[in-house]
Amino acid sequence: MAEYDSSMYEKMSVAVDLLVFTIEEDRLKLLMIERSEDPFAKMPALPGVFVGINETLDDAAVRGIYEETGLTDLYFEQLYSFGEVNRDPRMRIISVAYMALVPIEKMNYHAGLRTLNASLVDVEELLASNRKVAFDHRKIIAYARQRLANKVEYTQIAFHLVDEEFTLPRLQKVYEILLGKSLYKANFRKKIAPMIEETEYVTAGEAHRPSRFYRLKEQSGCSE
Amino acid sequence: MAEYDSSMYEKMSVAVDLLVFTIEEDRLKLLMIERSEDPFAKMPALPGVFVGINETLDDAAVRGIYEETGLTDLYFEQLYSFGEVNRDPRMRIISVAYMALVPIEKMNYHAGLRTLNASLVDVEELLASNRKVAFDHRKIIAYARQRLANKVEYTQIAFHLVDEEFTLPRLQKVYEILLGKSLYKANFRKKIAPMIEETEYVTAGEAHRPSRFYRLKEQSGCSE
DNA sequence: ACAATAGTGTCTGTGAGACAGTATCGA
DNA sequence: TCGATACTGTCTCACAGACACTATTGT
């Protein structure tokens, strides 16, 4: 807090930048908008909103996600705060990045994305390319990608990228995508088994053995 | 970033709050100041500084740590950003918390702490007590304590709390303090062995077998 | 019957946990 | 010699990795 006279210090704008991740067609995708104006016109950018003077950071994130996707009640967490001096050439903006995870089934309910010239960008493809990205958003995306890869190992974060009821082959694919490597079925299932419970449903209509749907078991006492 | 007209949104003050941890007398301690003025007069608070308009968040953290302790070149990392609306009753302040780790040997070099009415507070004791803490700093401290406990398991963060050359009984104690439980010597040493290398020095002058000093081995390629 | 994917049993190696033992100092 | 702490050897058990096997659908 400091006892310095705050008038010595100029105030600055604070924004939240939003990383809305989903998995579509077996690829990790991120919701991005194409900028219409300079600076960085025509480049992909993360959606974001300024933080209101009477709004908490979390509230601003929830509002931003809703404005961008029409979605509410989805999993999100604060990622990191970025405060380079010239990250926005127009003015000083501190950006608090938030990461949200949406199963693609929920994403599709809301088709109004195109009107906001928003689209789902393939994350690995973007990071591997040398395509220009607005502001310091490439760095933010890379940071989030890393965090996802880490957290999938020691949390249940992957479950937020599938629907409430899911098959194990599907969940395994999500793990594989986030980890960037393939896993052995038997081992994966042994590891996941204690976290899930069976449903009565199975897939049907495919030319092979059907797979059972599971849901996440209510947890005993596990911090996120 | 958003295309909203930023003039719609009031700017706000941004500060960094600093959590300078060390281990003293086998206890986890945190550098805190006693507030002289209201609000929260006489209560312990985290030191902090406002972020200058031409200063990055990291730079502000480095500056704050230097002003508070006279120390430079110590390990620090951004912890989390706190943005409740009324966390400071005087005005809206977004606080980006940073955590720094200092071996007590370095801490003692600089004795000017008392002049800033700063002192080392026992973290477990503070968190277990119902002593009032200024602002939302109790919450921040609890968050940092948790992060330390987590990171000690899967990073080498504990090494920042001992000197460059250290004995294994000492390092083990640091692990035990951060984890909050005692460890078996043999197992601890097997786990640590690949990370360290012997020095030629051993302790002397104590009425028992001397212990060897080690140092952290140069790492192959391990992200922090 | 066959292709294709779902799902299981089991061997192995690695590493954490537990504990008993040996080593080396000052007094 | 003794008390105290440093340090090591080894058993056990849980679990991740690897792989071979069985099961069930539509065509």
Question: pTM to 2 decimals?
Answer: 0.93
Number of residues that make up chain A: 224
Q: Bridge-partner residues for B196, per DSSP? A: B216
User: Count of CB contacts below 8 A, A vs B?
Assistant: 130
Neighbours of B204 (CB within 10 A): 7
Inter-residue contact B44 to B122 (CB < 8 Å): no
Tell whether the model's pLDDT for residue B34 goes beyond 70. Answer: yes
Q: Taking the domain A162-216, which CATH number applies? A: 1.10.10.10
pLDDT of residue B150: 94
Q: Average of pLDDT values for B136-145?
A: 98
State the 10-residue block means of pLDDT for chain A, 224 residues long: 55 97 97 91 95 97 92 95 96 97 83 70 98 98 97 95 97 97 96 95 94 87 43
CA–CA distances in Å: residue B68 to residues A8, A27, A214, B82, B161:
19, 47, 54, 21, 18
A6–B13 C-beta distance less than 8 A: yes
Which bases of chain D come closer than 7 Å to a protein CB?
3-10, 15-20, 23-27
What residue spans define the domains of chain B?
14-154, 163-216
Give the C-alpha separation, A93 to A160, whole Å.
30
pLDDT of residue A174: 98
Average pLDDT along chain B: 91
Candidates 2.60.40.10, 3.40.50.2300, 3.90.226.10, 1.10.10.10; CATH matching B163-216: 1.10.10.10
B91–A83 C-beta distance less than 8 A: no
Quickly give B161 CA vs D20 C1' distance in Å.
Answer: 49
Give the class (CATH, top level) of A12-154. alpha beta
Which residues in chain A are contacts of B134 at CB distance < 8 A? Answer: 1
Tell whether the model's pLDDT for residue B90 goes beyond 90. Answer: yes
- Tens of pLDDT, residue by residue over B179-190, are 999 999 999 999
Give the class (CATH, top level) of B14-154. alpha beta
- Tens of pLDDT, residue by residue over B91-121, are 999 999 999 999 999 986 555 555 568 899 9
Confirm or reject contact between B73 and chain A (CB < 8 A): no
Quickly give B173 CA vs C25 C1' distance in Å.
Answer: 21
pLDDT of residue B116: 65
> The dihedral of CA B123, B126, B127, B128: what is its sign?
positive
